[in-house]
Structure 1
Amino acid sequence: MAGAAAAVGAGCGALAARSCTPCQAGGLWWGQLLAAIQELLAEPAWAWPAHVRDPSGIGPDVIDLFAAETANLCGELVSLFGPWLPPVWLAVMRQRVLVGMVEPFLAHPERYGWTAKPSNWNAVCHQGLVGAALALGLESDSLQRLLELSRQHLQLFLDGFSAAGSCLEGITYWEYGFGWFVLLNEQLELWSGGQQSLLAGQEEQISRIARFGSSMLLRGGLLVNFADSRLDMPPRASLLMLLGRRLQLPESTSGGLSLYRQLLARGLDLHAQRCDLFYLTRMLLESPSAEALATASEPDGADWIDREAGLVVVRRFDRQGRCWELAVKGGHNDEPHNHNDCGSFLLQVDGQRLAIELGAPEYTADTFGPKRYTLLATRSSGHSVPLVNGQEQAAGRESSAELLEINAGTAAVEIQLDLTHAYPAAAGHRRLLRKIQLDCNAACLTVEDELWADEPCGLESVLITASDDAEVLGLEALPGSQLAGKECLRFRDNRGEELTAWRWRWQVVMPPPSCDANEPQCVGFMIRPPGY
């Protein structure tokens, strides 16, 4: 699936690049653009073959993410180049989108399962249909019907975020789902001259959701990449600038400026995932001035503490002025794009990755099937969570963590989680607590796991890192604990690239010969990087 997705992305990227190429003598760019559009219109269907029930893999009336994005692309092409495109092509676009997609949707919206789900599909598919309908001139009555349905369905999408605004699908899908919702609203407001808006009466809720994006930015262009999120794939800078401007959110504008500066420093990769026309046009239109870019700084947002979602992100500075960024994950193991990761955490110091999340695995049939939790990136053995009597965490809503305590001081942060229910009964434990303490005055992070059991029960504290050098990481066992082992992990990330990580395991120095049900077994470690 990853290879095929890359091929589709390459085609969209090539079309986008030709669309944004400066005019040159001889008109070579225009001929290349026309050839790319002709190739797009010649495709028998735009839906992803895996989403089509017909054995042929061709479903012209199937509306999935890919079909919806292609419909919107047609609308974008007409908006940009309509007067210069062959009239027969315009007719083909209107036929395929308005007659082949919008009409069946209006006739039987209940047939499209994504309309009744709070996932990113809801927002992306509606954006594709409505955005294309606005650009391609859908007849008035049909357009109003489409807008009414979209408002109804999109409310379910918005209700899928926590009350504080967290996206359980992770930051990558916050950008994809919520980002497309915001872009659809911009299209609707521009089309209607501000008379219609998806934000009307909901600015407070939508502002909370918007703040989630900038709160997940880390220094060095990295992200809080829980769930199926890419570490190195930040939200679109243009999206954050739009949110800052439309909702008067200075933190979004600051995040957008930071991302634009990073983009300017590394250059634009036209072969990157989702580097399409929709991206490039907004990237250019929202580009800040040189004066604004000069004010850009590294992310330094307020704490994000969401007990409902079980998510904590804090930033603190030590005495040397270095920024410690800590993210802790509670929640449960039946979340969208779920990983069995209750109690996991990541830690960066001035952009140096000390405790990591593997993030999104390579997307294959196994990733979204019954073998999902055999994959390293999604099972608990690929996360910095305890191992109890050799048992990993179980999947399911009942497998959960509770945030018991959060003390967020100016120089110290203490987080305590109850992980008892995250592990199956076969683990033989009675209670499991995890305490994570960040002390910027001492420049260290300590992690301690406490286990209560009625019978002798093994406990290992686990840490996932990108480095195999204990001195570079500053790893130390807590008193009574010892390093039990270190393993090299190899896995394929979302781009299909093979990467290496390391799993460190600590256990008690001398397991007790018997078990006192009232006394916990304590295992833990400290991260104190050298020079801090």
Structure 2
Amino acid sequence: MFSEKYVGTNQLTQSIKGGFSIVRPLSDRDYWEGIKKTAYQQVTSYINGIGAFDFSLPASMYLDFVRNGNRTRYEGVCFERRKALSAYALLEAMENKGNYTDKVLDFTWLILEETTWCVPAHGYLRPEADGLPNDEHPCLDLFQAETGCLLSFVLRLFQEKFEQISKNIVPRIKREIDFRVIDNFLIHDDYWWQGFLIRKNEDGKRYVVNNWNPWILSNVLLCAAAVTPPGERLQSLVEKVMRSLDNYADAYPQDGACDEGPSYWNRAGLSLLDCAYFLNQITGGYVNEFENEKIKNTAEYITKVHIGNGFFVNFADCSPRLAANYGTIYKYGRLLGSETMVSFAKECFRLDKSNAFTLWQMPRALELYEAMPTLSHLSAPARAFQDVYFSSTQVMAARERDGADGLFLAAKGGHNAESHNHNDVGSFIVYKDAEPFFIDPAHEAYCAKTFSDQRYEIWNNQSCFHNIPTIGGKDQPAGAGFSASCVSYEAKEDETRFSLDIKNAYENKDEIQKWKRTFTLSRKNKEITITEDFALNAPEKIVLNLMTVCDVAVTPHELIFTADSGKTLSLAADFSKFHVICEPVETTDSKLLSDWGKAPTRIRLELKTETDKGKFTFTIK
């Protein structure tokens, strides 16, 4: 997308200006007074709440990850340091009285003194690390890059004030950003996320990089713009960024689908847009891909997977509820001329006016605060897509009618080697009036197992904890070869139908002749039907797994699901043929309990008799 068109051209050499920044100087008091109107209360509230917080990061805490698999203790303090720096920097920028300059300096110095800005879970990127980082070999991970970006913003804002305090502060900041981020990026081609290494998975295809690529590269660009003067070094960096970014952008599907899900889209597709924008600004407008259809489709993806009331289609490692970056979405909606994105940003603002999670991601925090006054006056309703299908990922969504009310169905095909994969080929979710009834359980807090060869020991990554059958005692394993076939999608005015054969997704696929699942959302009948049509080589035990966060009542002909609001859905079938077993999932994970408000329940529909063929229809209404 980028390198073939721009790298090596004379115009690129002439257009790279350097000095680009998306943070306004402290002297622009009109701007900072405007930010004060929207940010002051949130920022001061945060600062007032951290007085007793312990910001220490001892070596023993860094070692947690290799000793016991815990990554959250260290990351919690590490991220809080950066949020505190952002908050004090914003507060001083808004007031500009010098009351918080020392606090900005204290947290800047604290972060500069860290041996590494890389979190323990990512230490594997450098062979020199052995549980503790090697300070001579910095590791360029997501948070090393983000920390460099944050310090770049602080430098832009406070360079003059720092120079009045000491001549040693500004050179130290520049030196650390250069050593840990810019030089690190330029001298290395061996980070997997750069996409320069040829890695092969079991099917022999080239490994595709994920959200790490644009996430890190967007921060590298902002670091370079802040501390690297125009010249050969900056041009080399810009060209290398484009070559690396192509390893992600060229593989990104034309339809804009994010196989990592909506929550990772914030740092996948949206970071791709950031890279395109920053490249455009650094080159004075020469690099311009905002007319590219893939870019627009990527940008609008998030609007198509919103169920309603802050719930999103959450296959893979994706939480069901997101605080979307509505400031950034609004910015790119305007840039791309997308009314869909602009109205969606307004809807996100209506649902969550704080969006505090962006606080230490300074570019997005400022975009948020800049957009608030405009979004508060927009009245355009967000578009609710009646039918959506992403052929690249084989994910569909359909709703009973416009808006969040009524039935909503999403289902997927795909394969079991997707980024942030769950073994979930053929799974589905159902909502009514934007409330969850049949769910994808999402994921628990990340730990050492999450991205290791023990990933599928974690219950929420297993197919038997999704809305998928267990066939002959076997579930779906991981791997690109375990996939859907015979996928068909058809959307009409009165109904939407999605069907697929999931036999190849199973470990015992040679024993399965077919397992066709057909999902139909009928707008006329206001119902969803799911048909299982299967044939096996021999009689086997069959279990249909269902996941819910509703209370469940069992009768001979239907299951009644009652949500917390009191709303109900029924699942109708001849349940006399099944043993119905309801099993609450035993979890104390705070993230998952926060996502759903309670632990999910698994329903196992066990056929009473082993069989080698059958056809069952379940009706949800």
Fold match by TM threshold 0.5: yes
Q: 1:500 aligns with which of 592, 599, 604?
A: 599
Q: CA deviation at 1:145?
A: 0.4
Ranges in structure 2 where 5+ consecutive residues have no aligned partner: 1-70, 196-207, 554-559, 563-567
The letter of the residue matching 1:311 is V
Cα root mean square deviation, aligned: 2.6
Q: 1:16 to 1:85 in 2, by over 3 A?
A: same
Q: CA deviation at 1:404?
A: 2.6
| Residue aligning to 2:204 | none
Question: What are the equivalent positions in structure 2 for 1:54-453 lying under 5 Å apart?
Answer: 54-55=129-130, 57-60=132-135, 61-86=138-163, 87-107=167-187, 109-116=188-195, 117-197=208-288, 199=289, 203-264=292-353, 267-269=354-356, 272=357, 275-289=360-374, 292-295=377-380, 297-301=381-385, 303-317=387-401, 322-402=405-485, 404-425=487-508, 428-453=511-536
Could you report, residue by residue, the CA deviation over 1:454-501 in whole angstroms, capped at 9, with x for unpaired residues? 211222222111112343242334247545211111346583757500
Q: CA deviation at 1:69?
A: 0.7
Q: Is the 8 A contact 2:273 2:295 kept in 1?
A: no
Q: CA deviation at 1:290?
A: 5.5
Could you report, residue by residue, the CA deviation over 1:2-22 in whole angstroms, capped at 9, with x for unpaired residues? 333222222222222222226
- Aligned partners of 1:130 and 1:24: how far apart in 2? 29
Q: Is the 8 A contact 2:327 2:371 kept in 1?
A: yes
Could you report, residue by residue, the CA deviation over 1:275-330 in whole angstroms, capped at 9, with x for unpaired residues? 532332121123352664333x3551353212231111222329x99333221111
| Residue aligning to 1:43 | 114
The letter of the residue matching 1:63 is L
- Aligned partners of 1:372 and 1:361: how far apart in 2? 12
- Aligned partners of 1:355 and 1:380: how far apart in 2? 14
Structure 2 residue 561 is matched with structure 1 residue 490: no
- Aligned partners of 1:103 and 1:147: how far apart in 2? 13
Could you report, residue by residue, the CA deviation over 1:398-419 in whole angstroms, capped at 9, with x for unpaired residues? 1101353222122322211110
- Aligned partners of 1:263 and 1:337: how far apart in 2? 26
Which stretch of structure 1 is more off in the superposition, 35-44 or 335-344? 35-44
TM-score w.r.t. the length of structure 1 is 0.89
Q: 1:411 to 1:147 in 2, by over 3 A?
A: same
Q: Is the 8 A contact 1:317 1:411 kept in 2?
A: no
- Aligned partners of 1:276 and 1:151: how far apart in 2? 22
- Aligned partners of 1:219 and 1:400: how far apart in 2? 29
Q: CA deviation at 1:394?
A: 1.4
Q: Is the 8 A contact 1:13 1:277 kept in 2?
A: no
Q: Is the 8 A contact 2:328 2:364 kept in 1?
A: no
Could you report, residue by residue, the CA deviation over 1:164-212 in whole angstroms, capped at 9, with x for unpaired residues? 1111111222211222232233333334432334x26x61111121121
The letter of the residue matching 2:236 is R
- Aligned partners of 1:351 and 1:62: how far apart in 2? 42
| Residue aligning to 1:527 | 620
| Residue aligning to 1:8 | 78
Q: Is the 8 A contact 1:257 1:288 kept in 2?
A: no
Q: 1:274 to 1:345 in 2, by over 3 A?
A: farther
The letter of the residue matching 1:315 is R
| Residue aligning to 2:68 | none
Q: 1:211 to 1:402 in 2, by over 3 A?
A: farther
Q: CA deviation at 1:435?
A: 1.2
Q: 1:488 to 1:302 in 2, by over 3 A?
A: same
| Residue aligning to 2:40 | none
- Aligned partners of 1:403 and 1:491: how far apart in 2? 37
- Aligned partners of 1:268 and 1:455: how far apart in 2? 54
Q: CA deviation at 1:524?
A: 4.5
Q: CA deviation at 1:426?
A: 7.1
| Residue aligning to 1:462 | 545
The letter of the residue matching 2:161 is W
Partner SS for 2:79: helix
The letter of the residue matching 2:83 is G
Q: Is the 8 A contact 1:98 1:138 kept in 2?
A: no
Q: Is the 8 A contact 1:356 1:465 kept in 2?
A: yes
Q: CA deviation at 1:384?
A: 0.6
The letter of the residue matching 1:309 is T
The letter of the residue matching 2:396 is V
- Aligned partners of 2:159 and 2:407: how far apart in 1? 51
Q: Is the 8 A contact 1:391 1:427 kept in 2?
A: no
- Aligned partners of 1:138 and 1:382: how far apart in 2? 53
Q: Is the 8 A contact 1:361 1:492 kept in 2?
A: no
- Aligned partners of 1:460 and 1:298: how far apart in 2? 40
- Aligned partners of 1:254 and 1:190: how far apart in 2? 26
Could you report, residue by residue, the CA deviation over 1:420-441 in whole angstroms, capped at 9, with x for unpaired residues? 1011127832211111121233
Partner SS for 1:176: coil
Q: Is the 8 A contact 1:225 1:359 kept in 2?
A: yes
Q: 1:24 to 1:78 in 2, by over 3 A?
A: closer
The letter of the residue matching 1:90 is V
- Aligned partners of 1:237 and 1:192: how far apart in 2? 26
Partner SS for 2:189: helix
Q: 1:7 to 1:160 in 2, by over 3 A?
A: farther
The letter of the residue matching 1:156 is N
User: What percent of counterpart residues are identical?
Assistant: 23
| Residue aligning to 1:33 | 104
Q: 1:237 to 1:403 in 2, by over 3 A?
A: farther
Which stretch of structure 1 is more off in the superposition, 423-432 or 167-176? 423-432
Q: CA deviation at 1:510?
A: 5.3
Q: 1:274 to 1:433 in 2, by over 3 A?
A: farther
Q: Is the 8 A contact 2:317 2:443 kept in 1?
A: yes
TM-score w.r.t. the length of structure 2 is 0.77
The letter of the residue matching 1:410 is E
Q: 1:426 to 1:437 in 2, by over 3 A?
A: closer
Q: CA deviation at 1:45?
A: 1.5
- Aligned partners of 1:478 and 1:179: how far apart in 2? 43
- Aligned partners of 2:230 and 2:179: how far apart in 1? 11
Q: CA deviation at 1:446?
A: 2.0
Q: 1:291 to 1:68 in 2, by over 3 A?
A: closer
Q: CA deviation at 1:118?
A: 2.4
- Aligned partners of 1:349 and 1:329: how far apart in 2? 19
Could you report, residue by residue, the CA deviation over 1:100-142 in whole angstroms, capped at 9, with x for unpaired residues? 43224323x3222211152111112212222101012345110
The letter of the residue matching 2:121 is A
Q: CA deviation at 1:332?
A: 0.1
